[in-house]
Chains A and B, each alone.
Chain A
Amino acid sequence: MSIDKDTAARVAKLARIRVEEDALPDLANEFNNILTFIEQLSEVDVDGVEPMTSVTPMALPRRADVVTEGGDAGPVLSNAPDAREGFFAVPKVVE
C-alpha cells in the first residue's frame, strides 16, 4: 500500500490539520515509511483470534442515570478562547 500526495491531503483533511501543499510529498513519504513498518503485521496468523477490547478482563461498571455534577458553567467556560453570555463562541457555522 503506497500513499500518494492526494491520500496524504485527504488524511490531513480528515484529521482537521492544515498541511500546506508543498509539505504533502514529505508527509506522504513519512506515512509510507510507517506503514511499511506496520505491514509486518500481515505475516501473523490471526484466524480465530478475538480483537482485544479490554486488556484487563472486567465488566464496565454502571451507575444510576442521575445528574451527579452540574450547574458549573463558570468553571467550564473559564478556559475557553472565546466565551460569551454563558456559551462557547465559534465562527459562524450556519449561513
Chain B
Amino acid sequence: MTDLNKLTLAEARDQLRAKEFTSVELTQACLDAVEASSALNAFVHNTPEIAIAQAEAADARLASGDAPAMCGLPLGIKDLFCTKGVPSQAASRILQGFLPEYESTVTQNLFDAGAVMLGKLNMDEFAMGSSNETSVYGNAVNPWRRGNDDTPLTPGGSSGGSASAVAADLCLAATGTDTGGSIRQPAAFTGITGIKPTYGRCSRWGVVAFASSLDQAGPMTKSVRDSAIMLETMCGHDPKDSTSANLPVPNFEAMLTGDIRGKVIGIPKEYRLDGMPEEIGALWDDGIAMLKAAGAEIREISLPHTKYALPTYYVIAPAEASSNLARYDGVRYGHRATLAQGDGITEMYEKTRAEGFGHEVQRRVMVGTYVLSAGFYDAYYNRARKVRTLIKQDFEAVFEAGVDAILTPATPSAAFGLGEMSEADPIQMYLNDVFTVTVNLAGLPGISVPAGQNKQGLPLGLQLIGRPWEEGDLLNTAYALEQAAGFDAKPGKWW
C-alpha cells in the first residue's frame, strides 16, 4: 500500500469505489508525504485532524454506497480560500491569526462532494506575484531541478504552493486562483494541468479578493481528466456572488472523447514574440502539429490588441486591488500596529498597513490609488477599461469566424531560479503573464497542459483558450493535446 499519494483523482476515485484501499489510508499517505516535504514549503498550515475526520466520514459514505463525486479524495487548498476555523491569510502578515467564521463557496462545494482537506498552500501575498517570492511564509520551491544542478527554482505564482504540492505528489490535486495567469503559469512551470474557467463559473464568495473583475478559482491537477472532475465540483451558481453565472454545469468528464476532428484551432500571430526562447517556439510548433495530426484544422489568426494586454492589466488589477485591500485597516480582523502615545486613527491605519503589507502589495495598492485619483482616472483607468473592451472584441471576432480554441505557449520561459529576478525591474516579472493575462481581461476559459521539456529537463506547458462557457469543449481539446504529447515525466525526489 505504498505511493497512494501518487495517484490521480480519477484513479483514486475508482480504486476507492472498488474497495482497494480506504480514504483514511490514502489520506495518511498524503499526510506522510506532506510531513516529509518541508524543503518545498508548499503546505503552510497543515490540518491532519480535519483530514482524518473527513476521510473517516468519506469511508462511511463509500461503505454505504452513497459516495459523491470527490468522496475521500485528499486536496490542498490555496491560502486565499477562507476555510472555517483554519488560518486563511492570503500569505500576508496583515491577516496573521485570522480564523474565518465561514467557508468559501468553492471549498464548501468540494467538501459537500466528499473531498478531504490536507491543509493550506503557499502563494504570493494576496496572489500578487509570478514566483511565490512575495509570501510571508517564504518561497515555495519547485520540485523540478535543472538536471543535476541543485539551484532552487520557482514553482511560479501566485499559486506556487498548489503547483509544487501537486507536482510533488503531496496531494492528489489542489485549488488555485487566477487573476492574470496564477493557475496556468505555475502549472506550466511544474508539469501539471491547470484550468481557469470562464469568469463567473466559480463563485468568488469567501475567496480573498485581489482584482474582482479578473479573479477566478480553478483546479490544479495531474491530468486533464482530473481537472474536468474537480472543476465540475467547484463550479455552480451562488447567490452570494453577484457575478456568479446562473447556468447549468455540464458533466465535463463525460465530454472527454479525445475526438477533435474538424475543430478549428487558431494560432495568434501576435503571440510569436521577438526574443522568445527557441524552445518555447519549438514547443508551440510541436503542439500545432499534434492538434493537426489529431484532425483539427489549424488557422492563423490575429488578436491585434495583444501587446496592450499587460499595460491594461497593470492599470485595472492595481486599481481594483487598491479598492479591495482598503478593508485591511486594523479594525475588523488581522494585524494592528502597536501605536505610540498620541497616535490617532490615521496613524493606526498607516502604520498597520505599512507593517502588514509586503513591498509588492504596497506598490500595487499605491499604483492603483494613483490611477484612480482625481485628474488621472480618465487618462489611466477609463482608458484601460476601453482597451479591455477592444481586447475582448479581438477574441469575439475570431470566435465568430469559427475558431473553436486558440493554442499559445503558456509561459515565455521555463521555471527560473528563486532570486534570479530579484534585481530585475518589476515589469520583467510581469512579463511572465504575457500569454495568460489576455484571457482574464476577456473573461475566457484557459487551460495549461504540460507538453514537453526543455534541454535542462524542465517542464514546459501549452495554453488552450476556449469560448466563454465552453469549458467542456476546451477540456476535450486539452485532452487530445495531452494524449498526443504523452507527457509523463516526474521530478526526481530530492526533498
A and B: partners? yes
In chain B, what residue has the closest Cβ to A12?
B366
Chain A residues positioned under 8 Å from B382 (CB to CB): 51
Chain B residues positioned under 8 Å from A60 (CB to CB): 242
Chain B residues positioned under 8 Å from A41 (CB to CB): 308, 311-312, 315, 380, 383-384, 387
B65 close to chain A: CB less than 8 A: no
Assembled-state Cα–Cα distance A80/B335 (Å): 9
Instruction: Name A11's contact: one of B101, B198, B239, B370 (CB within 8 Å).
Output: B370
B308 touching A44 by the CB < 8 A rule? yes
A14 close to chain B: CB less than 8 A: yes
Chain A residues positioned under 8 Å from B392 (CB to CB): 52, 55
B332 touching A80 by the CB < 8 A rule? yes
In chain A, what residue has the closest Cβ to B244?
A61
A30 close to chain B: CB less than 8 A: yes
B1 close to chain A: CB less than 8 A: no
Instruction: Name A42's contact: one of B213, B350, B383, B389 (CB within 8 Å).
Output: B383
Min CB gap B217→A, angstroms:
16
B333 close to chain A: CB less than 8 A: yes
A55 touching B213 by the CB < 8 A rule? yes
Min CB gap A76→B, angstroms:
8
Q: A46-B390, A79-B332, A80-B333 are in contact. Are A34 and B308 (CB under 8 A)?
A: no
Min CB gap A64→B, angstroms:
12
Min CB gap A91→B, angstroms:
5
B425 touching A33 by the CB < 8 A rule? yes
Pick from A13, A63, A80 the residue with the most CB of B within 10 Å.
Answer: A80
A15 touching B366 by the CB < 8 A rule? yes
Chain B residues positioned under 8 Å from A14 (CB to CB): 369, 373
Min CB gap B203→A, angstroms:
13
B385 touching A17 by the CB < 8 A rule? no
In chain A, what residue has the closest Cβ to B213?
A55
Pick from A8, A17, A88, A93 the residue with the most CB of B within 10 Å.
Answer: A17
Chain A residues positioned under 8 Å from B307 (CB to CB): 40
B101 touching A56 by the CB < 8 A rule? no
Q: A44-B387, A55-B199, A55-B392 are in contact. Are A34 and B367 (CB under 8 A)?
A: yes
Secondary structure type dominating chain B contacts: helix
Instruction: Name A88's contact: one of B326, B332, B335, B390 (CB within 8 Å).
Output: B332
A56 touching B468 by the CB < 8 A rule? yes
In chain B, what residue has the closest Cβ to A36?
B427
Min CB gap B312→A, angstroms:
7
Instruction: Name A55's contact: one of B99, B339, B346, B442 (CB within 8 Å).
Output: B442
* Chain A contacts with B in 38-57, Cβ cutoff 8 A: 38-44, 46, 49-56
B390 touching A75 by the CB < 8 A rule? no
* Chain B contacts with A in 440-460, Cβ cutoff 8 A: 441-443
In chain A, what residue has the closest Cβ to B362?
A17
Pick from B326, B367, B426 the residue with the most CB of A within 10 Å.
Answer: B367
* Chain B contacts with A in 304-351, Cβ cutoff 8 A: 305, 307-308, 310-312, 314-315, 322, 326, 329-336, 339, 343-351
A58 close to chain B: CB less than 8 A: yes
* Chain A contacts with B in 47-95, Cβ cutoff 8 A: 49-56, 58, 60-61, 63, 72, 75-76, 78-82, 88, 90-93
In chain A, what residue has the closest Cβ to B246?
A61
A51 touching B389 by the CB < 8 A rule? yes
Assembled-state Cα–Cα distance A8/B370 (Å): 9
Chain B residues positioned under 8 Å from A13 (CB to CB): 350
A81 touching B335 by the CB < 8 A rule? yes
Residues of chain B at the chain A interface (Cβ within 8 Å): 97-99, 101, 198-200, 213, 239, 242-243, 245-246, 305, 307-308, 310-312, 314-315, 322, 326, 329-336, 339, 343-351, 353-354, 357, 362-363, 365-367, 369-371, 373, 380, 382-390, 392, 425-427, 430, 441-443, 468
Q: What are 25 A-to-B residue pairs whose CB atoms are below 8 Å?
A: A3-B370, A8-B366, A11-B373, A15-B366, A15-B369, A17-B354, A17-B362, A18-B351, A30-B426, A33-B426, A34-B367, A34-B427, A38-B315, A44-B383, A46-B387, A51-B389, A52-B385, A52-B386, A78-B101, A79-B98, A79-B101, A79-B333, A81-B335, A88-B331, A93-B345
Residues of chain A at the chain B interface (Cβ within 8 Å): 3, 8, 11-19, 27, 30-31, 33-35, 37-44, 46, 49-56, 58, 60-61, 63, 72, 75-76, 78-82, 88, 90-93
